[in-house]
Chain A
Amino acid sequence: MSRVETRNPDRDAPGRVIKVDALARVEGEGALYVRVRDDLIEDVKFRIFEPPRFFEALLRGRPYSDAPDITARICGICPIAYMLGASRAMEDALGVVLDAPLEDLRQLIYCGEWIESHVLHAAMLHAPDFLGMPDAFAFAKANPDAVKAALRLKKLGNTILEAVGGRAVHPVNLAVGGFYRAPKKHELQALLPEIEFGIEASATLAKAFAGFDFPDFDYDYTCVSMRSDKAYAIEEGRLVSNRGLDIPVAAFPDHFFEEHVAHSNALHGRMRDGSPYLVGPIARYNNNAGQLSPAARDLAREIGLGATVTNPFKSILVRMVETFHACEESLRIVAGYEEPERARMPIEPRAGKGSGVTEAPRGICWHSYELDDEGRIVGATIVPPTSQNQPQIEADLACVIARNLDLDDEALKWRCEQTIRNYDPCISCATHFLDLTVDRV
C-alpha cells in the first residue's frame, strides 16, 4: 500500500521508473524516485517527507538549559547525540569545562547509544537485506540464536543509557554542565557481567555478518569525522577529513553548507565546493581506525576490513567493530568509575556564541547557538548527520543503479533500498524538512 502520493509531473515520460513510496527499516519517512531512459539514469531522488517541526525556531527565547531536553526530541533513536551536542555548544558559549570524571560518564552513555543504535540497525534493519528477508522477524525464524544475541546486545546499550541517563529514549539525567545526579558506583558495577557478554557477542555477530555476500561497489569518499588526540572520537574532538581538512568545531560553516533543494524535506549538506561528503561509521573508521582498541583492530582485520573501507555495503561490519569498541570502552570506564565530587559544573548565564559537535551513530551532528545576557537562546542551527549524507546517498544510488540495470524492477528496487540503508538514515533527524511538491527535472 502506498502511503504517499508521488507527485511526479513527468509521470507520463517514457522510460523505466523505480519508486519506493515508503522506505522501510529506516527511522522516519523517506521515499525514492529514479527514472531511467535508454539505460541512462535521468533522475535519482531520495526524498524525505517528514513534516517540518521547526526546532531551530521554537528554541528561540528558551533558556540555554532547555536545549538538551528539547533537541533530544529531534530523534528517539539517537537522543544523546542531540543532548550532548547541544550541551557542548552551550558550554562553549558559557565558558564551562567539565571535570574529567563527568567526561567519562558522557563517553559511557554515548557508548550505550552507539551499541543500541548500531545493533538495532545492523542486526534488525540491515542484515535482513543480505539474507533476502523482509525483516528481523524472518531472520529470527531462520537463525534464532543470532537474533536473540543481537537483542540482548541491543538491550545492553539501553541498560547503559538507563543506568546513566534514567531512561533509554529521551534520558532525563543529562544537563548542560554534566548530570543532575551522578550514578552510584554499585549501579554501574552491576553492568559489568553484561558488558563482558557484549564484548563477546559483538565479535561473534561481526564474524557472522562478515560471511554475507557484499555487492561489488566502491566509492572514493570524502570522509568527514571528528578526531581527538585522546581516543577514537565520539563526543570530544576537532573536525577532520581524509583530504587534509583539520579545523576547529566552530569553523564548520566555513567549509560546509546546507542547501535547500526542492525534492526532499531535509536540507542537503555539501562541501563549500559543492561536492558531497560522507559522515558516519565508515568515515570515522577511515579517519581514526588507528585509535580503535587493539582487540577491535584485530577484529576488523579478522573480518576482512582493510586500513580503509570503500564499499558502503560493508558499513554493517564497521558498525559491529564500533559496537565492539564501545563495549570495551564501557568496560574501561565502568571498571575505573569512582563517584565524582560534583555531578554538574556551576554555570553563570551570560551572552555568547558557542558551537558543539559529537559523533552520532550516523555521523557528526553539529550545533551552534547564540545566547543573550540572560542565557536565553537568540539563534540556533543544528546540522544532523542524515542531511549531510543525503547528497552522498544519491551519488551512491546513481552508481549502484548504473551497474545493476540488468536486475528486474523488484530486485533493483530492493538493491536501491539496501543502498540507502547502508547509511542507517535517520530521517526524523534530518529535519529541516519540507513536504515536496516540486520536481525540477
Chain B
Amino acid sequence: MAARKPKLAVWKFSSCDGCQLNLLDCEDELLAIADSIEIAEFLEATRAQVRGPYDVSLVEGSISNDHDAERLRKIRKQSKLVIAIGACATGGGIQALRNGRDVDEFVRTVYAHPEFIDTLATSTPITDHIPVDFELRGCPVSKYQLLEVVSALLAGRQPRVPRHSECLECKMRGTVCVMVARGQPCLGPVTQAGCGNLCPSVERGCYGCFGPKESPNTASLADRFLATGSQRRRVREMFQSFNAAAPAFAKEAERHEPR
C-alpha cells in the first residue's frame, strides 16, 4: 500500500501574497509537488478544501486584528508543523511601521469612515502568538529555501538554510563591496543571507529584506553609517522597513529616535 501523502495547508494573514506566490512560481517543480503531497488548503490556487489535521501549515502574513489571532491559534492546533514564511510572518512586515505610532490617526488618514475599521494598534510576527517549528525569512522568501524547508521537515531532517550574513555572500561571490567602493550604506553585515546576493549585485546597498542575522552588531554598523555621512533619521529608516518588528532591527531603530 502506498504511504499516505502528507497534507499541506497554506494560510494567509496580513500580507501581499508574494511569499505563497513563490510556491506557484516553482514552475519546474510544481506538478511534482502536487503529486507527492496533498494540497489540503491553498486558497490562492484551489477551491478544493480538505479538513485538518495537517502535516504542514505554511503561514504567510502578520497578525493585525483579534480575529486573525484567533484563526492562527486554531491553525496551530490542527497542524503538526507550522512554518512561518516571509518577513510579515517572521518580522511583522512593512505594516509593522504602525507599531508605536498613532494608528487612529492612520485610520483617519486613509478612510472616510474610521468607525468601520477593526484593527489592532500593532502588526506582529506569528511567533508572538503561537510557537512555530521554523521561521523562513525574506521579503519575499526564496522559493529554493521554501522547497528545502518543506522537504526537510517532511523528511524529519534539519533544513539547510544558512544563518550567516549577506555580507559574507558578497565575499563568497566576489561581489564588489558597495560600502567600501561606493560609500553606500548597506545592511549586508547585519542581514541574514538567502536572497541570492541581489542588491549588491545591482550596485545597491542591501536593504535588509531577509531580516537580522543571528547576533547582529547593528549598533556598530549604524555608527559607521553616521560616521560616513548618513543622517540619523535615515539610519533609523533603514532599520524600519520590511522587518520593522524584528527585535534587533526595532531596537536599533529606536536608538535613533529623536529625543
Contacts and interface: CB of A to CB of B under 8 A. Distances in A.
A340 interface: no
Interface string A174-197: 000001110000000000000000
A122 to B, nearest CB: 13
Interface stretch (B17-25, B161-169, B185-193): B17-25
A437 interface: yes
Interface string B136-178: 0001100000000000000000000000000000000000000
B136 to A, nearest CB: 14
A270 interface: no
A3 B67 CA distance: 10
B57 to A, nearest CB: 13
Given A51-B65, A172-B199, A57 B47 contact: no
A75 B21 CA distance: 10
A386 interface: no
Given A169-B25, A436-B116, A29 B12 contact: yes
Interface string B74-93: 00000000000000000001
B218 interface: no
B204 A180 contact: yes
Contacts of A22: 43
B181 interface: no
Interface residues of A, number: 71
Nearest to B114: A434
A429 to B, nearest CB: 8
Nearest to A117: B21
Interface stretch (B26-34, B127-135, B221-229, B248-256): B26-34
A70 B94 contact: yes
Contacts of B39: 135, 137
A58 B116 contact: no
A27 interface: yes
Contacts of B18: 73, 75-77, 79, 169-170
B44 A25 contact: yes
Given A57-B110, A76-B18, A135-B45, A166 B71 contact: no
B64 A25 contact: no
B217 interface: no
Interface in B1-41: 12-19, 21-22, 24-25, 27-28, 30-31, 34, 39, 41
Contacts of A52: 64, 107, 110-111, 117, 119
B116 A434 contact: yes
B126 interface: no
A345 interface: no
B241 A428 contact: no
Interface string B201-229: 11110010100000000000000000000
A74 interface: yes
Chain A CB count within 10 A is highest, among B17, B22, B113, for: B17
Given A152-B27, A172-B204, A51 B106 contact: no
Given A25-B47, A51-B68, A140 B34 contact: yes
A75 B201 contact: no
A262 interface: yes
B51 interface: yes
Contacts of B97: 58
Contacts of A69: 207, 241
A279 interface: no
Nearest to B60: A76
A391 B242 CA distance: 32
Given A52-B107, A260-B116, 11 more contacts: A1-B49, A51-B119, A57-B106, A63-B234, A73-B18, A74-B16, A77-B21, A124-B45, A147-B31, A167-B196, A172-B199
Contacts of B95: 53-54, 58
Contacts of B25: 154-155, 158, 168-169
A94 B46 CA distance: 44
B98 A77 contact: no
A125 interface: yes
